[in-house]
Chains A and B, each alone.
Chain A
């Protein structure tokens, strides 16, 4: 198991109740990590609607999370 720093924006922050957290995971991809977190926090957004970034770079969902990575999930927002 590794530990990663996860940051949430917008709806995800609201549903998780925190902007950031440190989580332990065995997920083999960012996709699997999001599914784990979704199950824990009850996220309503499908993964297809999101962008993910690792260490301040956009990433694809197949990337394997590394120990100490900062993973950011970004939903589209529309307010003005």
Chain B
């Protein structure tokens, strides 16, 4: 067992110790860190630990795993307290089991040293005089840095040689402030800026890297994915040990290593119609870096509604497209060009079509450049254009977008965006997602299959359902419907439409979001 936990309560030490028992273990070593009554000459009555929980757990687990790999231990568990502690309370507990005592001692020491250096945990000390202060938890050296190289440690050394330099670091922006157009005033603008990056993949990696390195004060990062090995050829924020971990946590950690002065906030699920406008309103600029058309359209609508500039890019194999949405009246938006989201199959993806790593690298870097230009007020192209970049033949063309020929013909970008967001909100309310239809029934929904007879024959539902084709529902030609119902079709389109009609008739109707296509088929139909 290799674990790291945060605990708001005093942990049960005997339980922790028993949890580490291992038949191959000949040595167990535990370390306890206690709250002492003074710090740097001041008398302390107690303290308060506050953790950035998600990042702390991810980083803590990484530290424990590193110790295990480095010293070859059998089991290890580290616990860090959060909340209010008094003098004498246990703040940290570390237990390690190994075949021999030496590995256990060393791994224990490694874990406490790294926890002190790397965990995003802040300590508020309460002094006897009544005042308080937040103090950095990072203190002390690392015994293992003076150790001779170990059999297991090459990768780990590489990792903490980065982390070890981080807290003493003061950023030096002189190479960019030397630019007449940037200067100290520009640097101050960057430090005050709040930028949201949606998607921490091929486009997002260079965007996040360059904006963090440039000293943008606050970065928001949105991504719902975990890192896959197939991402590594183009997503250079990450490395081979990161596979399987959430990208937002990895990206936040990488930013902390690259520029500790940048504050990072993460969202580990995609934004949706219900929260996106609020999130956008808290940022000065948004950079859209997903591979998802629906996300781009939603971001466009939220940008227009909140007046937040948005930088869009997308890639296909060896080429890419870039569009900057100024989100001010008279400037064209994404819908001015493509008014409706194209059917998902039409636009291609990196998974289906393939992509060469530098392609999102180039387009993401261009997005970062556009972001810095906007934040710094640098000169930009006078026209509003779709920029097409072909990295095979090196061509780069800008096609000006005529705002008068776009949303202006449908009431203007704002009105179009309002309708679209309202539609998406309604969809959000109507759609219900389940991994299995049995779960829907357990949650109190009666299932109505709105597909046609031949579709049902081709893929029957594994649960009891009432069958009312959408056409019959629309014509109100069926028996009355009572209670809470979940309508089901192949893709979620007909069921959503039917649910809207039923709601108008007072029925408590929902639609299976994404339809049967979104259900994991293995579990549902085997």
Residues of B within 8 A of A1 (CB): none
Query: Does B315 contact A80, Cβ atoms closer than 8 Å?
Result: yes
Query: Does B290 contact A80, Cβ atoms closer than 8 Å?
Result: yes
Interface segment, one of A21-29, A30-38, A50-58? A50-58
Query: Does B317 contact A10, Cβ atoms closer than 8 Å?
Result: yes
Residues of A within 8 A of B353 (CB): 11, 14, 79
How far is B320's CA from A75's CA once the two chains are assembled, in angstroms? 11
Query: Does B199 contact A80, Cβ atoms closer than 8 Å?
Result: yes
Query: Does B321 contact A77, Cβ atoms closer than 8 Å?
Result: yes
How far is B202's CA from A77's CA once the two chains are assembled, in angstroms? 14
Query: Of residues 49 to 78 in A, which have CB atoms within 8 Å of B's CB atoms?
Result: 49, 51, 53, 56-58, 72, 74-78
Query: Does B319 contact A75, Cβ atoms closer than 8 Å?
Result: no
Interface residues on B, range: 35 or more
How far is B338's CA from A11's CA once the two chains are assembled, in angstroms? 17
How far is B400's CA from A57's CA once the two chains are assembled, in angstroms? 6
Residues of A within 8 A of B401 (CB): 58
Residues of A within 8 A of B314 (CB): 76-80
How far is B405's CA from A74's CA once the two chains are assembled, in angstroms? 17
B292 within 8 A of A: yes
Query: Does B343 contact A79, Cβ atoms closer than 8 Å?
Result: no
Which single member of B296, B346, B347, B392 contacts A19 (CB below 8 Å)?
A: B392
A2 within 8 A of B: no
Which single member of A13, A58, A74, A76 contacts B346 (CB below 8 Å)?
A: A76
Residues of B within 8 A of A53 (CB): 399
Per-position contact with A for B221-248: 1 when CB-CB < 8 Å, else 0?
Answer: 0000000000000000000000000000
Residues of B within 8 A of A51 (CB): 337-338, 386
How far is B399's CA from A72's CA once the two chains are assembled, in angstroms? 10
How far is B401's CA from A53's CA once the two chains are assembled, in angstroms? 10
Per-position contact with A for B345-378: 1 when CB-CB < 8 Å, else 0?
Answer: 0111110010100001000000000000000000
How far is B203's CA from A57's CA once the two chains are assembled, in angstroms? 27
Query: Of residues 302 to 345 in B, which have CB atoms within 8 Å of A's CB atoms?
Result: 313-317, 319-321, 337-338, 342-344
Query: Does B399 contact A57, Cβ atoms closer than 8 Å?
Result: yes
B217 within 8 A of A: no
How far is B315's CA from A57's CA once the two chains are assembled, in angstroms? 21
B491 within 8 A of A: no
Closest to B399 in A: A53
Distance to closest chain B CB from A50 (angstroms): 9
How far is B357's CA from A57's CA once the two chains are assembled, in angstroms? 30
Query: Does B199 contact A49, Cβ atoms closer than 8 Å?
Result: no
How far is B289's CA from A77's CA once the two chains are assembled, in angstroms? 12
- Give the dominant DSSP class at B's interface: mixed
Query: Does B393 contact A77, Cβ atoms closer than 8 Å?
Result: no
Residues of B within 8 A of A72 (CB): 388, 397, 399
Residues of B within 8 A of A11 (CB): 316, 348, 353
Residues of B within 8 A of A77 (CB): 314-316, 319-321, 347-348
Interface size for A (C-beta < 8 A) is 23
Residues of B within 8 A of A58 (CB): 337, 399-402, 405
Query: Of residues 238 to 278 in B, which have CB atoms within 8 Å of A's CB atoms?
Result: none
Residues of B within 8 A of A57 (CB): 399-400
Residues of A within 8 A of B360 (CB): 79-80
Residues of B within 8 A of A13 (CB): 319
B390 within 8 A of A: yes
Residues of A within 8 A of B392 (CB): 19
Query: Does A79 contact B402, Cβ atoms closer than 8 Å?
Result: no
Query: Does B388 contact A9, Cβ atoms closer than 8 Å?
Result: yes
B201 within 8 A of A: yes
A19-B392, A57-B399 known; A78 vs B199 contact (CB < 8 Å): no
Which single member of B292, B319, B350, B405 contacts A10 (CB below 8 Å)?
A: B319
Which single member of A9, A19, A80 contacts B203 (CB below 8 Å)?
A: A80
How far is B337's CA from A51's CA once the two chains are assembled, in angstroms? 8
Closest to B288 in A: A80
Residues of A within 8 A of B220 (CB): none
Residues of B within 8 A of A14 (CB): 317, 353
Residues of A within 8 A of B399 (CB): 53, 56-58, 72, 74
A14-B353, A49-B343, A49-B346 known; A76 vs B317 contact (CB < 8 Å): no
B103 within 8 A of A: no
B291 within 8 A of A: yes
Residues of A within 8 A of B395 (CB): 19
How far is B318's CA from A19's CA once the two chains are assembled, in angstroms? 11
B residues near A (Cβ < 8 Å) are 199, 201-204, 289-293, 296, 313-317, 319-321, 337-338, 342-344, 346-350, 353, 355, 360, 386, 388, 390, 392-393, 395, 397-402, 405
21 residue pairs from A and B, CB less than 8 Å apart? A9-B316, A9-B390, A13-B319, A19-B390, A57-B399, A72-B388, A74-B399, A76-B314, A76-B347, A77-B321, A78-B292, A78-B314, A79-B291, A79-B317, A79-B350, A79-B360, A80-B201, A80-B202, A80-B290, A80-B313, A80-B315
